[in-house]
């Protein structure tokens, strides 16, 4: 059914490692087309299985999941119920290649729901951990109050020293929502020793 998702991840890891070896630690810009291609590849690889790791009461819990298989089973169930298709015919959907258009639409639905859950519901989103040495990574929105401050200008003198001077203007940053992040280290990566 095309490129396997693990192959795509390995390819991306190789590109990133090459950049890091050259001292390039910059973050690439968001690319909707790259993300859509990743989603399409994942949707079309029901064999891809990943390990999701969670911690409860300091104990690690591992679960194997197949995002594509779960998605396809959910869609097949709904379509079968809607059109009265028996399970024998609906199994054909397992091998049906999903399009770039489907992947892009799925991304838009997921992004909209997730962002609205954070901005309207006040919820934070915690990314699933797939590696035992990952921090628990979360994002959330926070209301930033209006802030007024004196605008400043930075200039360099003939000796190469920088100075900051008031411009006489006032900058007003109006109240707005901002995305914040939080990283918590899981218990298995913490060690407490006597000093």
pLDDT, one tens digit per residue, over 17-46 is 898 889 888 887 888 999 999 999 999 998
Alpha carbon of 83 to those of 70, 89, 90, 150: distances in Å? 20, 11, 10, 65
Rg (CA), the chain: 24
Phi, psi of 179, deg, nearest 5: -85, 130
If pLDDT is split at 50, 70 and 90, which confidence band does 2 have? low
Q: What percent of the chain is predicted at pLDDT more than 70?
A: 99
Q: What pLDDT score does 55 carry?
A: 75
42, two tokens: 């994942």
- Summarize pLDDT for 60-94 with one digit per residue, the tens: 888 999 999 999 999 988 888 888 888 777 777 88
CA torsion sign for 105, 67, 97, 2 is positive
Rounded to the nearest 5 percent, the helix, strand and coil shares of the chain are: 40, 30, 30
pTM of structure:
0.75
Considering only the C-alpha atoms of the chain, give the largest distance between any 2 of them, rounded to a whole number of Å.
82
């Amino acid at each position: 059914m095309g490129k396997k998702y693990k192959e795509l991840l390995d390819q991306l890891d190789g590109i990133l490692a090459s950049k890091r070896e050259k001292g390039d630690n910059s973050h690439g810009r968001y690319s909707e087309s790259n993300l859509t291609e990743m989603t399409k590849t994942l949707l079309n690889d029901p064999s891809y299985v990943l390990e999701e790791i969670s911690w409860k009461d300091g104990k690690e819990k591992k679960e194997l999941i197949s995002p594509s298989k779960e998605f396809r089973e959910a869609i097949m169930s709904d379509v079968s119920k809607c059109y009265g298709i028996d399970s024998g015919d609906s199994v054909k959907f397992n091998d049906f290649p999903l399009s770039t258009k489907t992947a892009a639409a799925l991304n838009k639905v997921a992004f909209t729901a997730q962002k609205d859950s954070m901005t309207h519901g006040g919820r934070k989103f915690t990314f699933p951990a797939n590696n035992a040495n990952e921090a628990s990574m979360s994002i959330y929105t926070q209301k930033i109050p209006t802030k007024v401050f004196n605008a400043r200008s930075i200039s360099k003198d003939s000796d190469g020293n920088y100075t900051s001077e008031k411009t006489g203007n006032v900058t007003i940053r109006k109240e707005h929502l901002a995305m914040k992040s939080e990283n918590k280290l899981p218990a298995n990566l913490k060690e407490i020793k006597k000093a």
